[in-house]
Structure 1
Amino acid sequence: MPEDWTETVELNGEAFFVRHWGDKNAPKILMLHGFPEYSGGWNDLAPLLAEQFHCIAPDQRGYGKSWRPAAPELYKTALLVSDLVALIGAEPLIVLGHDWGASVAYALTIGRPDLVSKLIILNGVHPAPFQRELAKGGPQTDASQYIHFLRREGSENILAANDFEKLTGFFSADMDMDWLRGDTLAGYKEAWRDASGLRGMINWYRASPLKIGQAGEAIDGLTFDPARLAVPCPHLLVWGTQDTALIPESTAGLEEYAPDLTRVEIEQADHWLHHQKPREVADAILSWIEG
């Protein structure tokens, strides 16, 4: 088998596009992208991990070349997890998630702990601490106000207009986007395709049960049970310290849900750390796994 290859597989009766890097007989890492990325978003990091692992990265439901249903109800978390369960099979593996990929990675680990040997998160959030911060009406609520726009019907049309002008600006959120140019930018635009293509991606926000008020608005009455939302396996959180979309408070108290947690910070990197500092991120991951 070549060092990297792609395939289209059937999961739950639908077609999903999957990228691979490394020796197919090596230990596996399942890599889950976020919004508005696709499996090619791992092109910087995966080759570094593939020196020791078989990296597997699907275009998740609604993204890239995979199945893109139009109905928001087809993007509920349980359905997103079911795609991964079908892809994994019976043998547990390491799961790595970023952004929305982190959310579904947490859901997979919580719901099917038998399939996840280790959990790695890059600038992503566990649902309980994140919802707690959203409910406060504080800095994370303010930083997440864009969710209201995305959930509106027709937001995909606005983001796709003028060759994705609004989406590329939205992507940056005042962060370092020097990496999003040339062939990388072309690959993203090819994955986005058009407004109908963006709809599936945005449906993740529409289907999410997350509750968020207006800027400064608190939400009362939310409670969380750590026992029901536990991450029982070893867990690594790698954090780009300059993230403006997810603030550090959104991971405060994560140890209550993940008792075997290791935190690593990557300086001079933000939400897009896997593009900006792939070598540093890979070293953090490999050192933790080997340790």
Structure 2
Amino acid sequence: MQDASHRFVDLNGQPFHYLEWGREETPVLLFLHGFPEYSGAWGEVASRLADSYSCIAPDQRGFGQSWAPPEVEAYEMRELVGDMAALIDTLDQKVTVVGHDWGAATAYGLAMFRPELVSRLIIINGVHPAPFQRELAAGGAQTSASQYIRFLRAEGSEDKLSANDFESLMKLFSAKMDLSWLSGERLELYKAEWSRPGRLKAMINWYRASPLKVALPGEALSDVPALRKDRLQVRCPHLLIWGDNDTALLPQCIEGLEEYAADLTVEHVGDADHWICHQKPDLVAGLIRSWLESQPG
């Protein structure tokens, strides 16, 4: 696996850190991690694509070695998208954006609201806000699976998660899925990132700042604002890679996605879950490579 280079950059006047694999003067893939990961989470996939692409994986705001303001409102989506738009501006080219988990939210935001920066969009077990809000409000299976969001939003949840050497965070992380890849030196690297001052609270502030409404199980919400379909369109080619055994994000969350992405390709992987990038990096990298090579231009 190719080693990454560490880079530091000021974005909108604030310090950010990112990892980079590959060669200059090749097409850029911008990899956006989710919770509770960091830039290093992309090493297995990015290093397998570094022969043909410049692979850039930032620590998003509040994570790792990047800026972590304490205020909840600092993690509203316009701020998160603004960070990554500023990073793309430093690259002097449109990029393919790859997002997983919360990174998918930022990736969709870039594709929908800053389309001039995004040539293609790849999402890996992440969700578009409209179908996800529909399922969170419905009171059904996804509502039940997402009750952890209500826990995370509560005051002091970061203290509960960090207690006993992050015991509760590890349970939340797994969500009864295969976490065998997170052990030994890799686990220690993750814990080192979680232990940076103020980071765990900042990471959780992504949930606190989100406007998504989560119902109680069996109690559908009736006061969810209507989302304008015309404003939430992905107009570039869009690949979705989906590990079917995900217990955090259920398949209902991607039903109707084609209404928001006219040029959509979906690749299902039957023997992987939410952590597919770690469980099957060869497969994920191969799917990304073959899809990108199939695209015109």
Common fold, TM-score beyond 0.5? Answer: yes
Gaps of 5+ in 1: none
In structure 2, what is the equivalent of residue 48 of structure 1?
Answer: 48
* Seq. identity, %: 56
CA positional deviation for 1:196: 2.5
In structure 2, what is the equivalent of residue 266 of structure 1?
Answer: 269
C-alpha distance in structure 2 between counterparts of 1:276 and 1:63, whole Å: 22
Matched, 1:235 2:238: yes
1:137 counterpart (136, 139, 142): 139
How large is the RMSD of aligned CA atoms in angstroms? 1.2
CA contact (8 A) 2:96 2:121 kept: yes
C-alpha distance in structure 2 between counterparts of 1:200 and 1:24, whole Å: 32
CA contact (8 A) 1:160 1:195 kept: no
- What is the DSSP-based 3-state SS (H/G/I as helix, E as strand, rest coil) of the residue aligned with 1:43? helix
> What does the per-residue CA deviation read over 1:105-161, in whole Å, with 9 as the maximum and x for residues that have no partner?
001110000000000000000000000111111000000000000001110001011
User: Structure 2: which amino acid aligns with 1:200?
Assistant: A
C-alpha distance in structure 2 between counterparts of 1:3 and 1:194, whole Å: 23
In structure 1, what is the equivalent of residue 283 of structure 2?
Answer: 280
Matched, 1:85 2:85: yes
Matched, 1:33 2:36: no
CA positional deviation for 1:10: 0.5
CA positional deviation for 1:187: 1.1
- TM-score, scaled to structure 2: 0.95
CA positional deviation for 1:3: 6.1
User: Structure 2: which amino acid aligns with 1:84?
Assistant: M
CA positional deviation for 1:189: 0.6
CA contact (8 A) 1:149 1:155 kept: yes
After TM superposition, the structure 1 = structure 2 runs for residues 1-291 of structure 1, keeping only pairs within 5 Å, are 4-89=4-89, 90-193=92-195, 196-222=198-224, 223-291=226-294
CA contact (8 A) 1:157 1:195 kept: no
CA contact (8 A) 2:244 2:272 kept: yes
C-alpha distance in structure 2 between counterparts of 1:7 and 1:221, whole Å: 44
- What is the DSSP-based 3-state SS (H/G/I as helix, E as strand, rest coil) of the residue aligned with 2:268? strand
Q: Number of residue pairs matched?
A: 290
CA contact (8 A) 1:97 1:105 kept: yes
> What does the per-residue CA deviation read over 1:63-109, in whole Å, with 9 as the maximum and x for residues that have no partner?
00111111101000000011001100152110000000001100111
C-alpha distance in structure 2 between counterparts of 1:286 and 1:185, whole Å: 28
CA contact (8 A) 1:95 1:119 kept: yes
CA positional deviation for 1:194: 5.3
> What does the per-residue CA deviation read over 1:163-208, in whole Å, with 9 as the maximum and x for residues that have no partner?
1111111100000011000121111111111573200100000000
- What is the DSSP-based 3-state SS (H/G/I as helix, E as strand, rest coil) of the residue aligned with 1:97? strand
CA contact (8 A) 2:64 2:196 kept: no
Gaps of 5+ in 2: none
> What does the per-residue CA deviation read over 1:216-274, in whole Å, with 9 as the maximum and x for residues that have no partner?
22112442322110000000000001000000000100000001000001121100000
User: Structure 1: which amino acid aligns with 2:79?
Assistant: L
C-alpha distance in structure 1 between counterparts of 2:248 and 2:197, whole Å: 23
CA contact (8 A) 1:156 1:196 kept: no
C-alpha distance in structure 1 between counterparts of 2:151 and 2:17, whole Å: 29
- What is the DSSP-based 3-state SS (H/G/I as helix, E as strand, rest coil) of the residue aligned with 1:133? helix
